[in-house]
Every structure is written in C-alpha cells, then in structure tokens.
Amino acid sequence: MSRSTLSRRAASLGWALLLVIVASLTVSADTFRLLQPVQSDVLTYSDENITISFKMRPGELGIGYSGISFTITNKSTQAIEVDWDRSSITLPDGQTSNVMHEATLFSQRGASTQPTTIPPSGKLSDSVIPTRNVSYYDGWNIEYMAIKTGSQFGLYLTLNGLGTSSSGYNFTFEALDVEAPGGNLIIVSLALLVGLVLIALVLDI
C-alpha cells in the first residue's frame, strides 16, 4: 500500500474519530428553572447578603442527577456559615432527606457535619446529595434523584451569621425538559458504534 494511500486513510480515520467525538458530545442539555424564592431560568438568586447559582450534579456514569451543585458568594461584611446539619433536600417524590456535601466521607454520611465558613466577599463552590440515596453494596453507590420532566424538588439551605440569627433559604426547582436516565448513555453508545463502523470501512476490515 502506497504512502499516499495510507495518508488518505489516516486522514479519513481522523475525521471519523472527530465525528464520533462531536456526536458523543452533542447531546441535548436538560433544562431546569428556579421557582422559589424567585423565578430564574439561569438558576441564580441574589439578595443583600448572598448571591447563589445552581446546577444539577450528574449521577454516576452521567446517568440522571444525584444532587445539587452551587456556588455561593458572601456579599455581607461578616463571615457566614453553611449549616449542613440543618439543611435538607426535598426529593421529587416529596420525601425530605438530610444532606452530605463534597467534604463528607460516605462512611460518615449520618454523622454531624461541621459548618463551612465563608468570609466576607468569599465564595464557596460545593455540592449536596441526599444521604438517604447513599448506600453500600459491593462498594459505595449513589442513587439518582429520579428527576423527570415536570418534577419539582428543593434545597433548604441554612446559613448562620446573617444578622443575629440563622437564615433558612428555601429553593424550589422545576425540571422543564429532562431526558430519561440513561438516554445520554444510549446516544453516546450509538455514536461509538457508528464510529467503529466508519473505522472498519476506512481500514477495509
């Protein structure tokens, strides 16, 4: 086989792989909306003390959603604390669960958690998942939150240090358009299958 033929086939193989990657990444994004305390299509809330923005935390292997991620900025002139023990998630089925955040060991999911301090003008990026969705069977597993189109769920976040007492922020979310769990995985698998077929054709397998 001539060098020019090999070069053409190598170029074709490169394009085939690129198409596979693009197809794997081009998956319709799920959409959510913040309903309370204000409506926001960009999942952001702000008052005189804090600004907080949210996104959903993907589940294992990108299947469904296992929790809620957020970035909170302290706009006040004093330190505030995120009180994890007094915060909770309301699941789509209406059940309420305590939460664990990124620094919590799975084995300590039921134990008391120290608050996280955010200094004035400081920022914290973290995630919370429902402790009731964490279990151990041949390894630690996190069950996804069973969010589907039309589901409503919430996060109650307690902050200490605002004024003379704690402040509870009650955030409610709605899933506007959510693909069924595993749908993205199926699309990526099909894209990889197409890629393998293209590679076989290029190499005359």
- The three-state DSSP-derived secondary structure of the chain is CCHHHHHHHHHHHHHHHHHHHHHHHCCCCCEEEEEECCCECCCEEECCCEEEEEEEEECHHHCCEEEEEEEEEECCCCCEEEEEEEEEEECCCCCEEEEEECCCCHHHCCCCCCCEEECCCCEEEEEEEEHHHEEECCCEEECCCCCCCCCEEEEEEEEECCCCCCEEEEEEEEEEECCCCCHHHHHHHHHHHHHHHHHHHHCCC
Residues above pLDDT 90, as percent of the chain: 51
By residue count, the chain amounts to 205
| Residue in the structure block whose two tokens are 């902050």 | 159
For 136-178, the pLDDT digits (tens) are 888 888 888 889 999 999 999 999 987 656 789 999 999 998 8
Which is higher by pLDDT, 12 or 135?
135
- Cα–Cα–Cα angle for 148, 149, 155, rounded to 5 degrees: 65
The Cα 62–Cα 180 span in angstroms is 12
Fold of 29-178: Immunoglobulin-like (2.60.40)
Q: Is the pLDDT at 60 greater than 90, yes or no?
A: no
For 92, residues 6+ apart whose C-beta sits below 8 A from its C-beta are 145, 146, 147, 148, 151, 152, 153
* Model pLDDT, residue 119: 96
Supply the pLDDT for residue 198.
58
How far apart CA 43 and CA 190 sit, in angstroms, is 32
> How much is the mean pLDDT over the chain?
82
- Residue 136 has a pLDDT of 83
The dihedrals phi and psi of 103, each to the nearest 5 degrees, come to -85, -5
Q: How far apart are CA 132 and CA 143, in angstroms?
A: 9
Residues forming a β-bridge with 117: 81
pTM: 0.73
pLDDT at 199: 60
pLDDT tens digits, one per residue of 6-49:
556 655 655 555 555 544 444 447 899 999 999 999 999 999 99
